[in-house]
């Protein structure tokens, strides 16, 4: 865990209140870097910043992977259940809710949690899209491999 100062917590609360979640993620990554925290944490935070930026923001590998695969998974499940498909607005809402969960945990606890705790929060957020834990983006490569493998089988 990386402890934040009271000034950093006040700044983070202000960013949270302004709903600029990508800025909050970047702010936290910089704090983690400056205090020598777990080197995996800023990678997750910076990837989350890219993913959370609205559609009109810049694109990145992470943003395309996460948004594309999770919307596809949610729509596949919704089609099976006879529900309407989701779009980018619904994904953005789920991404914002994850950001609020992560940032509020940090503000309330006064520290950036372990990467394992952060990833657990991230994985649980697929519920905001109506998905189950096995649909977390960390399993996306497995989903893709299974799809390709099944399609190329003789």
Q: Please write the tens of the pLDDT for every residue from 124-153.
A: 777 777 777 666 665 544 444 444 444 443
Q: Please write the tens of the pLDDT for every residue from 62-104.
A: 677 777 777 777 778 888 888 888 888 888 888 898 899 999 9
Band (pLDDT 50/70/90 cuts) for residue 119 is confident
Q: Inter-axis angle of helices 40-52 and 88-109, to 10 degrees?
A: 140
How far apart (Å, rounded) are the C-alpha atoms in residues 25 and 42? 8
| Kind plus residue range of the DSSP H or E element containing 107 | helix 88-109
Task: Please answer whether residues 112 and 28 qualify as being in contact, where contact means their C-beta atoms are separated by less than 8 angstroms.
Answer: yes
pLDDT at 12: 96
Q: Please write the tens of the pLDDT for every residue from 1-36.
A: 899 999 999 999 999 999 999 999 999 999 999 988
């Amino acid at each position: 865990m990386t402890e934040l100062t009271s000034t950093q917590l006040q700044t983070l609360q202000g960013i949270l209140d302004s709903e600029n979640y990508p800025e909050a993620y970047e702010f936290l990554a910089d704090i983690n870097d400056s205090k020598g925290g777990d080197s995996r944490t800023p990678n997750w935070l910076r990837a989350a910043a890219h993913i959370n930026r609205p559609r009109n923001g810049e694109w990145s590998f992470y943003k395309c992977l996460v948004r594309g695969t999770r919307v596809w998974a949610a729509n596949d499940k919704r089609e099976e259940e006879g529900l309407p498909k989701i779009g980018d607005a619904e994904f953005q809402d789920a991404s914002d809710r994850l950001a609020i969960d992560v940032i509020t945990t940090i503000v309330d606890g006064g520290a950036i949690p372990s990467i394992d705790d952060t990833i657990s929060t991230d994985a649980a957020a697929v519920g905001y899209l109506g998905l189950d834990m096995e649909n977390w983006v960390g399993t996306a490569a497995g989903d893709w491999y299974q799809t390709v493998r099944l399609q190329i089988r003789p």
